[in-house]
Amino acid sequence: METGYSKHSNPYHNLLHAADVAQTVHHMLARMGLVHWISDLEIFACILAAVMHDFEHTGTTNNFHINTGSDMAYLYNDRAVLENHHVSSTFRLMREDDKNILANVSTEEFKELRNLIIEMVLATDMSYHFQQIKQMKGMIGNTESIEKVKALSMILHCADISHAAKEWKLHSKWTQLLMQEFFRQGDRERDLGIAISPLCDRNTTLIAESQIGFIDFIVEPSLHVCGDMIDQILEDELNSTSSTPEESIVSGKRNSIPLTRPSSAPRSSSVPAPTNHESESRPPSSPGRLSMGRSNTLPAKCSRCWTDKLSQNKGKWREIAATGRQKTA
C-alpha cells in the first residue's frame, strides 16, 4: 500500500491521507454507536475501504483524466475514473499470495465484503455528492429503515472531506497540501494548452474564499445529514433492542445482529478459532467481536463533535480573507 500511495509523490492524496480517513471512519463507527449496528465483517470492510480509497491516486482529478483522454479514463469509460482504479488496483494487489489479507475469508464473506467496499469507494467520487446527499435525506424520516450500504458510504464520504471539521492546525495543513496538488495540476493543464480546472490556477485561486465555500456548501451540509442519519439509526436500534433484541437493521430490512455475539454462536469454518490466550483476553461483555473501543451503552444521539471546529475554521478563513493573506493557509 505504501508503494502504491507513493507512486506519484502526491502532496495530499497519499498514505497519510488514507490513514487520516481510516482513523476518522474508526472514530465515527466506534464513538457514535454505529459499531452496534454492523457486523465484524462490515467493520473490517469500512476500515479497508478507507485505507484503499485513494490507492495509486495520480494527483489529478477525474476531469483531468477525461479531458486529456488518459488510458485510465478510457479503461473506465469516463465514469468514476480514479475511484474505479483505487478499488480495482487494490483487489488486484491482494490476489498476490503474500499480500492476500483476505485469505481466511469465506467465499460468501468475500463477496459481501467486496461488494460493500466497491460501493463505498465509488461513492467518494465528488460528482456523486449531491445525488448522495439527496438520497440520504429521502431515507431519513422515512418509514423504511436506512440502507446499510448507503449509510456506510455516507460515513466514508464524510470522513474523506472531514479535515475542515478538525482543529485548525490539521485543517490548515491539509488545505495547504491539497492546494499544492491542485496547483501542480493547473500547471500541467497550462503546459498542455487546455482549460485550467477550478481551484487549480495558482495565479487566481483565492484559498480562503474557496475553503469558506467548501465548508458552507459541501462539508457542513454533509455532516448535518450524516448526523441526522446516525440519529435515526441509533433511534431504530434503541427501539429494536428494547423490544426484540434479535432485530436490527440490515440493508433496509429488520433482520439484524445483537449488540454482542452469544458465546455459543458458531464461527466461520474458514476463520481460525482463537487460541486460549485470545479467548481469555476478550472482554466478557463482547465475546467474539472486535473491541473498536466500543461501549456497551448505545448513545441516544450523535454527538456532532464537528460543529464547533467547522465554525472556528470558517472564522479563521474569514480573517485570512479580510487581511488578503491568501497564500498562507
Question: pLDDT, tens digit, for every residue of 118-171?
Answer: 999 999 999 999 999 999 999 998 877 899 999 999 999 999 999 999 999 999
Note the pLDDT of residue 302. Answer: 66
Tell me whether residue 62 is in a domain: yes
State the residue range of the domain holding 158. 1-241+305-323
Is 133 in a helix, a strand, or coil? helix
Q: What is the pTM of this model?
A: 0.84
More confident position, 327 or 213: 213
Angle formed at CA 154 by CA 153 and CA 160, multiple of 5 degrees = 90
Helix axes 81-93, 40-52, angle to 10 degrees: 110
- Is position 78 annotated in a ligand binding site? no
- Is position 199 annotated in a ligand binding site? no
Query: Residue 225 CB: number of other CB atoms within 10 A?
Result: 20
Give the residue carrying C-alpha cell 508503494.
3
Tell me whether residue 328 is in a domain: no
- Is position 277 annotated in a ligand binding site? no
Angle formed at CA 304 by CA 300 and CA 309, multiple of 5 degrees = 160
- Is position 16 annotated in a ligand binding site? yes
Query: Domain holding 142: CATH number?
Result: 1.10.1300.10
Tell me whether residue 70 is in a domain: yes
- Is position 170 annotated in a ligand binding site? no
Note the pLDDT of residue 260. Answer: 33
Number of domains in the chain: 1
Rounded to whole angstroms, how far apart are CA atoms 135 and 149? 12
Which tens digits make up the pLDDT trace of 238-278?
887 665 544 433 333 333 333 333 333 333 333 333 333 33
Note the pLDDT of residue 281. Answer: 37
Tell me whether residue 290 is in a domain: no
- Is position 14 annotated in a ligand binding site? yes
Note the pLDDT of residue 142. Answer: 84
Q: Catalytic residue among 8, 13, 65, 129, which? A: 13
Active site residue 13: yes
Query: Residue 147 CB: number of other CB atoms within 10 A?
Result: 17
CB hemisphere CA count around 123 (13 angstroms):
25
Tell me the pLDDT band of 291, cut-offs 50, 70 and 90.
low
CB 77 within 8 A of CB 62: no
Tell me whether residue 287 is in a domain: no
Tell me whether residue 225 is in a domain: yes
Note the pLDDT of residue 262. Answer: 34
Note the pLDDT of residue 274. Answer: 36
Tell me whether residue 186 is in a domain: yes
CB 215 within 8 A of CB 310: yes
Tell me whether residue 26 is in a domain: yes
